Each structure stands twice: as C-alpha cells, then as structure tokens.
Amino acid sequence: MKTHATTPTRRLVLGAALGIALMPGCSSSGGTAKQTLTVYTSRAQGLVHPLLDRYAAETGNDLQVRYDTTASILATVNEEGQNSPADVLFLGESSGLAALSKEGRLVALPSSTMEKVDKRFRSPKGEWIGASGRSKVVVYHTKTVDPARDLPPSIMDFTDPKWMRRIGWSPTHGEWQLSVTAIRLVHGEAAARRWVEGIKANQPRVYPSLSATVQAAADGEVDVGFVNHYYVPRFMSQFGSGWGSRNSFLKGGDAGALIDVAGVAVLKTSKHQETAKHFVDYLLAKEAQSYFAHETFEYPLSAGVQPAGELPSLASLNPPNLDPDQLADLQGTLSLLRSTGVLP
Amino acid sequence: MVRRSRAPATIVVLSAVVAAATLLPLLYLVLRAAGAGGALGGLLFLPRTGEILLRSLALVASVTVAVVLVGVPLAWLTTRTDLPGRRIWLVLATLPLVVPTYVGGFVLVVALGPKGMLQRWLEPFGVDRLPEIYGLPGAVLILALHTYPYVLLTVRASLIRLDPALEEVSRNLGLDAWESFRRVVLPQLRPAVAGGALLAALYTLGDFGAVSLLRYESFTWAIYVQYQSAFDRSLTAALSLVLVFVAALILLAEARTRPRWRGGRSGVGAGRRARPVRLGGWRWPATLLCAAPVALGVVLPVAVLAAWVVQAMAGNRPLVFPTRAATNSFGIAAVAALTTAAAALPLAVLTVRFPGWLSGLMERTAYVGFAVPRIAIALGLVFFGAAFARPLYQTAAMLVFAYAILFLPTALASLSAALHLVPPHLEEAARGLGRTPWGTFRAVTLPIMWPGVLAGLALVFLLVMEELPATLILRPAGFDTLASSVWSATSEALFAQAAVPALVLTLLSGCSIALLYRREDRAR
C-alpha cells in the first residue's frame, strides 16, 4: 500500500522537473551589448523568416519576431498601449498601418526612406511605407473559363446572371474587403451596394481565405474568384503547371485591379528608433526586394528590382488611382457588408 | 456518507486563488464591453444576432448528443468486453482528439468536398459533384469526431474504477445484462458522462476552426468576423459576454442533471477487474462502431497529410523536421498539464468533498473560460500582462498561466469524476488511524484517483499541443510550436510545409496517449 501510494506523487514531481528541463526559452531573456529589435509581423513565417534571419546575421542585431494575423497584432498593440515591447510592425495589409497612423501610434520615417517608393504605395503622412506590392486579380478555372472570351473587362460585370453559382468570395477576409473599399471609392456608395447585392444574388460560394478561394477555383468548385495575384504562382511552384487555376489582371484603372502593399512602420513607443529605421531601409534595399520578387512572388517596389518571370511588369499594370489612407476606411465597407446581410 | 465538516482553510484559500485567476478574462471582457456603449444595444438586438445564436445552440446540441452516443459505447466496448484488439482500438479511438479542428476541417473539405479527392476518383464513373458537406452536417461531424474522446476518456476512467460487485449482485438478483447496465452501471457513470459531454459542448460553443472551414455561421464565427475586420474590440467583448451567458446556462442545465446519490467502491485493496462481457456475434458490428470514427478522424487526415508530404518529396522540395517546434510543444504542454492539474486539485476536493453554493460557484466559474473564444481570453491577458506583470509578459510562464486558465475545466472534470469514486469513509479511517490530511491524500485518495488524474493530464496535454489562438498572441518571440508552424504554413497555402508539423503533432500526441494507457495498465 505504502509504495503504491508514494509513486504517483513522485512521478508528478519528476514529470514537472523533466518538463521544465525540456522547455527551452525559459531563461533566454538575458540581454547583451548588441541591439535587440522586436518585430510584430502578419507576414507568413515560412515566407519571410529566411530574409529576417539574413538581416540578423548581417547586422549582428538580435531580432525578436512575433508572427500573428494583422487583426491580432493590431488588437495586441492596442491592448499593450504605452507598454508595448514592439519596435517595428511589418503587416500584410497597409490598412492596418493606416489605422495605427490615425491613432497617432507611428513615427514619421525619414524622407530619404520615403523617397525610395512611388507615392501611391506609401503613407501620405510619411508614417508607413510599402515594402512589396500585391495586385488584385480574378482567378479562374482553366477548364471552364477562356479568359479572352469569357472574362469581362471590369469586376463590376460579375453581377451578370451568367455568373450564377460560379463565383467564390471571402467576405470575412481583410484583403478581400479591401476590394469592396476600392469599389466604393471608384464608383461611389450606391454602385458598391448594387455590386455587393448583385454578386450576392448570383449565390457565390463563401471561403474563409483567399488561398482557399484559389484552391476552389483550381478544383473547379467555382469558376472565378476575387483574390491576390501571388497565390497562383505560389501554388504552381508547389504543384507544377498542372495547377487548375490562373490569374487574370484587370485593365483600365478598374477597381478590381487595385494594388495594395505589405507595409512597414516604426512605433512611437519603440526604444530603438534608429535600429528600427535602419531595418525599414533594409527591407527596401535590393537584396530584400529581390527576395520578395522571387520567394513570395510579390511586386518589388524599390531599388529597380523586376518581378518574377511570368508576372506582368508593375508599369504595365493599371490600378485605380486611390489615396492609400482612404483605403483604410474599413468601417464604411463593414457597414455596407452588414446592411446587405453578407456579414453578421 | 453525509458529512457536515468544514473545508480546511488551505483548500479554500487555494481554490479561491484559482477561481480568482479564472475571473481575470471575464473582468477584461466586462471592462471592454463597457466601452461599447450605445452601439452595443443595436448590435445585440439585431434579428440576425438571435438567429446566429440559435445556430450555435443547434450545433452544440447535435454535437453533445453525438459524442455521448459514440463515446459511451466505445468506452464500454474497449474496457468491459472481449472485443478483438480492444487495446489498439482504444488508442486509435482516442486519437481524433489530437487532430486539431483546423486540420481535420481542412482535410475533410479537401477530401470529401463537392470537388474533392473522392469526387476526382469517382469522376470516371460519372460523378460530377458530391453532395455538400458544408454547413451543419460537416461542422457537427468534425466537432463530434474531435470531442467524443472527452466522453470516452472520462467514462473509461470511471469504468475501470467501478466496483464490479454491484453489477454482479444485480445480475444474481435476476436482471439481464442490459438492465443491470442501465440501472446499476449507468447511474454510477453519470458524473463522467456529464463531465465529458459538458466539455464537448463548451468546446463546440467556443470553436472557430471547424465552423469557419465548413462555413457554418455560428456565434463564435460572428465574434471572430467582428474581431478580424473591426479594430474596435468593445463589440467583440460584448458578443463574447453573450457567449459566457450561454455557457452559464449550459452549466446550470448540467448541474441539474447531477444525481444526489454517489456510488463509491468500498476499497482499493479488493479491487478486481470486472469479467469481460462476451460479445459473440456482436463482435463485428462493434468493430465497425470503433472503426468508423477512427477512419474519419485519424486515418483520413493522416493519409491526406502523408500524401502532401510525398508529393513535396517527389517535387524535390526540401522538408525540414520541426525539431525545435516539437520540443517547444512537448515541453510547454507537459508543464502546462501538471500546472493545470495542480490548480484543479484543490477545487476538485472542495466541490466533491465539501459541496455548497460557494464551492459550486467557484467550480462553475472555472468552466466558463472553456466556452469564451480563446482570442478574447488571450487579449485579456495581454491587457493585464503588459500593464501589471511586465517582467512576465510574453514569457513561457505567462503562456502556461494562460493554458491553465483555458483548460482548467478539462482537468477539473477528470479529477472530480475520479474523486467521486473515492469513498470518504476510507479517508476518515486513515485520519482516524493518525494520518495527516496530506498523508491521507497521498496514501488513500490519490492512488484510487490515479486513472482520472492521468486522463486529466493527458487531456490538458493534448489541448495545449493543438492550441492556436492564445498561443499566437501570448508566446515569447521566436517560440514556435507545432500548431503555430501548421498555422503559418496553411495561412500562406504552403500545404507540404504544413503537413510535416501537422503529422508530427498527431504522432507525438498519439504516442503520449499510448504511453498513458500503458501506465494505466501497470497501475491496475
């Protein structure tokens, strides 16, 4: 009875000791002379960590990176307030940075930095800057859609009943909502409402993310979808040229041809302002820009770097001419989507 | 059996500390929701809000019924019968728990979607499109598959410790096997069934992975949408409080089903195994019953993940074994499991041995955290952590604290169910013979509770292994876990990269389960 009784407790103690011994990072916060930079990013870890590792190796700085979604990062930075340990924010959607800029949380970047990028792709107030570009496209299923014959010239034309049950969309996704914001800014509120209602009448299939939409278009679950350009090249590099969906870039300054950026900014509460600004410059230099071109299939925005092989050049694209800070007006888009019953 | 003694002060104080910690996220939600003001009323009383709430309740009810119908028979078959290969079935049938809903849901869509893998195989036979799996059926399937092991594990832990003598007596008194199961065994299993089903129900209420992938617009889905798309957190907090209220109603309903009489076996010394029931011809339907959830919940996801890995290897893409993520996951899950069980113990003792309104309230409070969207709990800890516990903020210790709050109910359910089976008079005898309270606990209570303790540890361990939303927000910088590796790969459509950590997560968790059962066997 006695031995039977003591073993469980002993096992618990041993287990706890073993668990703590196995757990790394318990006591790794000791600081040294080199600079520490904390970056919050919503970029995918698998895509950007080789680049960030390279920065750390080249500068000798200790880079602390936290990966999460844009929404979570914004909520976290808001909850942390003045106590935020973050120095740099590197977000997949510029609208998040614009929102923080509006709340006065970001510092102005040096004009030498801002000048590196076309003014369509940076904050008019100089508080955030685009590091790489992503174009909105129409993705289509190759077996059922002939892009030259079937695809209309504008995103507005997909309200035609011939697209009944053929469209995939992701109304809960921030990047997708940006397309609606662009439609509101280009065509006005009334036209945007007609578009949302028209697409809804065509009974689109709902997907949780843009990548799921691209996948569905490849499988033929839907014939077309409204997504970002880099998914198709990324899938094709994984699954080969047999991949069942392709991109169509819209022309003529159409709302559906919007170019958004993944942007970077420095927080006011950062205690490492100079290092942080140097990091921003690093992302805009040639090495990082060609990394974005060839590893993430995005559009490089500075240092004269060209996009990856099959993509049309940035100059040949024809996006609508919109103020990047205006694109951050998410509230208007959300109330439109709510009042049309697309969102709860 | 009737005891009117007062609870020891140490236990009351420890329980109060634990219950207070679980209140932190609720406090945060109330603080935030207070900021919503007028907009709140408008949102809460939209007809669509009510409709979505009803959808959530329909989901919870369906999943709860399903998990009891699957979990109880499986527990009985693998514990009390001569089912061929029942040890292996037991391990396999627990495994769906280790497949996260965001992986299981994704795989289900890829495999069984209208234009999924199955459809492509069937296309030569003229099948152009499979019936929809989206909506309620798909969401119930994924959530029931993922949560029935709660019932299986808690019920099994009780079945092992039930005194077979009671059942034998009822058989001798002329009841047939089914009647004696229904009238003698089932009432004793009730706390375990209710505990497991409650966990499944609350998990379902708070789940986001399955409902988003299978496009079922539940209340949690609405909360995440609100949270993802609006930077305003007060409305999110207000909606989360509605969910807390629903969870409280579910808890109240469960409390009403609790029996007054509680069975305890007379002594661990006389413990023996019940004689296995001969299944005879029923062996084959029974095997099928075990095989179905295993096929859908384990074999299918593992096969799809393995196929992606093979595809990537054939395409000569380098696959890296996530060693660091695996040790991080394992280490933090082990520490969190022990911490959570230690925190749950005083509460379990208090509620089982000294039932009263206060102990009941403390226990119920602990459960609420399970149903609140994890993201809301994590943000609450960001708020308190960054402001008042800066040295701990974004450390592993803070993450363990968060896990303990999130998964306290899981440990509590297992420990309470186990404690119900310890006859109080044994403890009294030990005290009468001069043992200290702690000595009594170690010598008498813990050995009898042991299978329940192990089950509780295992459940928390597995939940931590697959936890995602809170981990992403609260982890130290650079602290990758297997779940976070899966997330970061799938969020950018890198399936092969997602498949490796997902497989490792499943295998590592599976091994832990197998190890648990071995331990349990030796303890008998």
B494 pLDDT above the threshold of 70: no
Closest to A94 measured CA to CA, from A66, A122, A58, A56: A122
| Mean of pLDDT values over B121-127 | 81
Closest to B28 measured CA to CA, from B373, B469, B380, B402: B380
- Highest average pLDDT, of A66-70, A222-226, B228-232, B508-512, comes from A222-226
Residue of A nearest to B309 (CA): A238
Residue of B nearest to A44 (CA): B488
CATH of the domain at B499: 1.10.3720.10
B313 pLDDT above the threshold of 90: no
Of A139-148, B30-39, B144-153, where does mean pLDDT reach its minimum? Answer: B30-39
- When CB atoms are compared, the residue of A64, A83, A174 closest to B478 is A64
**How confident is the model at residue B141, as a pLDDT?**
93
Helices assigned H by DSSP within B45-133? 47-80, 86-94, 101-112, 117-122
- When CB atoms are compared, the residue of B228, B334, B383 closest to A172 is B228
CA of A112 vs chain B CAs: smallest distance (Å) = 30
Residue of A nearest to B472 (CA): A68
Residue of A nearest to B523 (CA): A4
Determine whether the interchain pair A44/B492 forms a contact, defined as Cβ–Cβ distance below 8 Å.
Answer: yes
For residues A77 and A126, the answer to whether their CB atoms sit within 8 Å is no
Confidence of residue B482 (pLDDT cuts 50, 70, 90): very high
Cα separation, A276 vs A39, in Å, equals 9
Residue of B nearest to A71 (CA): B228
> What is the homologous superfamily of the domain A36-133+260-311 according to CATH?
Periplasmic binding protein-like II (3.40.190.10)
Determine whether the interchain pair A9/B115 forms a contact, defined as Cβ–Cβ distance below 8 Å.
Answer: no
Cα separation, B480 vs A128, in Å, equals 28
Alpha carbon B275 to its chain's center: 30
B269 pLDDT above the threshold of 50: no
Q: What is the domain partition of chain A in residue ranges?
A: 36-133+260-311, 134-258+329-339
CA of B171 vs chain A CAs: smallest distance (Å) = 31
Residues of A with CB below 8 A from B442's CB?
A: 5-6, 8-9
**B180 found inside a domain:** yes
Determine whether the interchain pair B116/A215 forms a contact, defined as Cβ–Cβ distance below 8 Å.
Answer: no
Residues of A with CB below 8 A from B477's CB?
A: 38, 64-66
Residues of A with CB below 8 A from B52's CB?
A: 344
Determine whether the interchain pair A220/B115 forms a contact, defined as Cβ–Cβ distance below 8 Å.
Answer: yes
- When CB atoms are compared, the residue of B114, B442, B479 closest to A6 is B442
| Mean of pLDDT values over B353-363 | 84
**How confident is the model at residue B40, as a pLDDT?**
63
**B3 found inside a domain:** no
Does domain A134-258+329-339 sit in CATH 3.40.640.10?
Answer: no
Determine whether the interchain pair B229/A45 forms a contact, defined as Cβ–Cβ distance below 8 Å.
Answer: no
Round the CA-based radius of gyration of chain B to a whole number and report it: 23
- When CB atoms are compared, the residue of B227, B311, B488 closest to A71 is B227
Closest to B372 measured CA to CA, from B171, B227, B479: B227
For residues A87 and A267, the answer to whether their CB atoms sit within 8 Å is yes
A134-258+329-339 and A36-133+260-311 share a CATH fold: yes
Residue of B nearest to A12 (CA): B338
**B386 found inside a domain:** yes
| Mean of pLDDT values over A167-176 | 88
**CA B474, B480, B486, B487 torsion-angle sign:** positive
- When CB atoms are compared, the residue of B226, B338, B477 closest to A65 is B477
Residues of A with CB below 8 A from B233's CB?
A: 75, 78-79
Determine whether the interchain pair B230/A177 forms a contact, defined as Cβ–Cβ distance below 8 Å.
Answer: no
**How confident is the model at residue A249, as a pLDDT?**
95
Q: How many folded domains does chain B comprise?
A: 1
Determine whether the interchain pair B231/A240 forms a contact, defined as Cβ–Cβ distance below 8 Å.
Answer: no
**Which of B217, B374, B488 to mutate against chain A (most A CBs within 10 Å)?**
B488
Percent of chain A topping pLDDT 70: 90
Cα separation, B333 vs B254, in Å, equals 29
CA of A156 vs chain B CAs: smallest distance (Å) = 23
Residues of A with CB below 8 A from B338's CB?
A: 12, 15-16, 19
Helices assigned H by DSSP within chain A? 2-22, 45-59, 70-80, 94-102, 111-114, 147-150, 174-187, 189-201, 210-219, 231-239, 273-284, 286-295, 330-339
**Which of B31, B101, B217, B229 to mutate against chain A (most A CBs within 10 Å)?**
B229
Largest CA distance in chain A: 85
Determine whether the interchain pair A75/B231 forms a contact, defined as Cβ–Cβ distance below 8 Å.
Answer: yes
**B339 found inside a domain:** yes
- Highest average pLDDT, of A85-89, B20-24, B109-113, comes from A85-89
Token look-up 């299944």 returns B279
Confidence of residue B265 (pLDDT cuts 50, 70, 90): very low
A32 pLDDT above the threshold of 50: no
Which pair of structure tokens corresponds to residue B492?
């950018």
- When CB atoms are compared, the residue of B212, B375, B393 closest to A208 is B212
* Packed helices B136-161 and B186-206: angle between N→C axes, nearest 10 degrees: 140
Average pLDDT over all residues of chain B: 83
> What ipTM was reported for this prediction?
0.78
CA of B456 vs chain A CAs: smallest distance (Å) = 13
Question: What is the tens place of the pLDDT at every residue in B202-254?
Answer: 899 888 888 888 888 888 888 887 777 666 677 788 888 888 888 888 888 88
Alpha carbon B226 to its chain's center: 26
CA of B490 vs chain A CAs: smallest distance (Å) = 9
Determine whether the interchain pair A8/B444 forms a contact, defined as Cβ–Cβ distance below 8 Å.
Answer: no
Percent of chain B topping pLDDT 70: 90
Determine whether the interchain pair B230/A331 forms a contact, defined as Cβ–Cβ distance below 8 Å.
Answer: yes
Determine whether the interchain pair A238/B331 forms a contact, defined as Cβ–Cβ distance below 8 Å.
Answer: no
Determine whether the interchain pair A174/B269 forms a contact, defined as Cβ–Cβ distance below 8 Å.
Answer: no
**How confident is the model at residue B336, as a pLDDT?**
96
For B411, the domain range is 16-261+280-523
